[in-house]
Amino acid sequence: MRRQTIPHAFLFTGIAGVGKSRAAVEFAKACNCRKRRPSEGGTPAGGTPENGAIPCGSCGACRKIEAGVHPDILRLKPTRTFIRIDSIRSLQHTLSMRPYEARVRVVIVQEAQHMRPEAANAFLKLLEEPPPDTVLILIAERVSEVMPTVVSRCRRLHFNPIPQGQLAGLLVDEADVTTEQARTVAAFSGGSLSRSLELLAGGWFRLRDWLVDEFERLPQMPVGRIMALGERLSADRRRFEEALDVLVSWLRDLMIVGDYPEGVVHRDQQSRLRRQAALWPLADLSAGIRAVRRAQTDLRANVGPRLIAETLLLQLVPRQDGRKTLG
């Protein structure tokens, strides 16, 4: 934008919740803002609105785009599972006409990997003969999921996960959590803001605390209770998947908390981690992680969730004298 050479198509990639859509919207604003400022660090030409890149956020164009009501900022996303050919045809039709008011029309395609082949081929035509004053922004998690012919015609931009400290700061501002809790969720989410917020809204700490309590009681549990726990754990498939992720991260933390406490995910549980870690031989922890990984694979292969849960729990139970002999 500073050089005033804007590619006609971008492909933004990166895990969910790291700001790809946000960046696309900001870019659309920057393209159309009437009062944009030069970016921090200045510009070669000294910073006139023409070579600036920061949208003002308050002019008419900025406000319409932010509110999602600008007629020339078009958004496309899958209806149910796929982006269909009809949607691309109607987009082609819209783009064949002049923009209403935008200097640069911007098309934001969410989940671009979910285009049916015929839709992708129609989209390819747009990329091959780009409409004037129009920027197409495709958003996907992974490059490998998008048709190579589409990828090759886009300028690629990869978004990294948000650094944990920074994400934790955002969470403290946006959600009702302590710093330690924010850092825990930031680490668990792998650096995704939307995933972190989703976990918090879904009662992630309640699930985690319950799971860790049960895990701690496992050595003393009669088999009947273990079976009941398996049933409860696997009752809701999504919750079960989440619980397995928690379990892997907990076992991993138990492995490292002694030597590398600053690297643990469950930062708010340091003392508990240390206490449990003292009871677990390292070999059993890695066997435990393998058992959970196996459960995750089985779940994806559509083995019955309840059977998976029971098998896993029995594998995690110590066989003699409170010592574990996992295989």
- Residues in contact with Zn ion by CB under 5 A are 33, 55-56, 59, 62
**Shortest Å distance, C-beta 98 to Zn ion:** 22
Residue nearer to Zn ion on the CB measure, 56 or 279: 56
**Shortest Å distance, C-beta 72 to Zn ion:** 14
**Shortest Å distance, C-beta 24 to Zn ion:** 16
CA atoms 48, 50, 51, 53: torsion sign: positive
**Shortest Å distance, C-beta 65 to Zn ion:** 9
Instruction: Return d(Cα 52, Cα 325) in angstroms, integer.
Output: 64
**Shortest Å distance, C-beta 75 to Zn ion:** 19
Instruction: Return d(Cα 233, Cα 180) in angstroms, integer.
Output: 26
Residue nearer to Zn ion on the CB measure, 14 or 55: 55
Residue nearer to Zn ion on the CB measure, 60 or 132: 60
Region for 248 from its dihedrals, namely left if φ exceeds 0, alpha if ψ lies in -120 to 50, beta otherwise? alpha
Given a contact cutoff of 8 angstroms between Cβ atoms, the answer to whether 128 and 8 are in contact is: no
**Shortest Å distance, C-beta 174 to Zn ion:** 24
Given a contact cutoff of 8 angstroms between Cβ atoms, the answer to whether 54 and 62 are in contact is: no
Instruction: Return d(Cα 112, Cα 142) in angstroms, integer.
Output: 10
Residue nearer to Zn ion on the CB measure, 59 or 175: 59
- Which pairs with CB-CB distance under 8 Å and at least 24 residues apart come from 220-224? 221/317
Dihedral through CA 143, CA 146, CA 151, CA 153, nearest 10? -150
**Cβ–Cβ contacts within 10 Å for residue 201, how many?**
9
Q: What is the DSSP letter of 268?
A: G
Residue nearer to Zn ion on the CB measure, 31 or 95: 31
Residue nearer to Zn ion on the CB measure, 62 or 316: 62
